[in-house]
Homo-oligomer: A and B are copies of this chain.
C-alpha cells in the first residue's frame, strides 16, 4: 500500500478525494458540497456516515480490495461472495464542518476478528478534530447474509494495518 506526500495531494487535489496512508492510518480527503449541508448551514449529521463509508472503502481499495468484487466472490481463494455490514456505529460530534471545507477522514483498523472488523475514524479540518467515530463491521455471506469468515488474504492485509498499542 503506497504512500503519498501531502505535497502531492495538495498539487493534484483541487476537489478532495485523495486517498493515501499516513503510517498505519488511512486518509481520505473529502470536499464538502451543498449536498452534504443542511439549512443549519453545516454538514448534516447523517452525512458523516457517508464520508466514513467512503473512507473505509478507499482504505480497502488501496489494498486492492473492492466491495463489488468481494460481493461477487471474484478474488482468488474466495469460494463465495462476502460483504461487510455495519453492526454498530458510535459517533461524537465535536465541531461543525461547512460548505467548501476539505475534511481528512482518518481511519485506523483497531480489531480484526474472524468475521468482524473494528475501525476508528476521525474527521479533521486541518488539525481540528470535528467528529470521532467507532465502527464495528460484520462480514456476511452475500447470499445468506449470515456471518462469514473474512477471506484469508484480506484478513492478512487488515491485520498488517492493525495499530500497535
Instruction: Give the segment of A91-99, A115-123, A147-155 that binds chain B.
Output: A91-99
Judged by DSSP, the binding face of A is mixed
Residue of B nearest to A142 (CB): B40
A16 contacts chain B at the CB level, 8 A cutoff: yes
Q: How far is the CB of A26 from chain B (nearest CB, A)?
A: 10
From B12, B13, B35, B67, A46 is in contact (CB under 8 Å) with B35
Q: How far is the CA of A101 from the CA of B165 in the complex (A)?
A: 36
Residue of B nearest to A135 (CB): B45
A47 contacts chain B at the CB level, 8 A cutoff: yes
Q: How far is the CA of A115 from the CA of B4 in the complex (A)?
A: 42
A156 contacts chain B at the CB level, 8 A cutoff: no
Q: How far is the CA of A8 from the CA of B13 in the complex (A)?
A: 11
Q: Mark A28-51, 1 if CB is under 8 A from B, else 0.
A: 110101110111111011110110
In the complex, the answer to whether B67 meets A50 with C-beta atoms within 8 Å is no
In the complex, the answer to whether B92 meets A88 with C-beta atoms within 8 Å is yes
Q: How far is the CA of A66 from the CA of B61 in the complex (A)?
A: 30
Q: How far is the CA of A3 from the CA of B31 in the complex (A)?
A: 20
- Kindly identify, within residues 36 to 86 of chain A, every residue whose CB is under 8 Å from any CB belonging to chain B: 37-42, 44-47, 49-50, 53-54, 57-58, 61-62, 66-69, 71, 83, 85-86
Shortest Cβ-Cβ A-B pairs, 8 listed = A17-B17, A46-B49, A37-B39, A15-B19, A90-B90, A14-B19, A45-B86, A68-B100
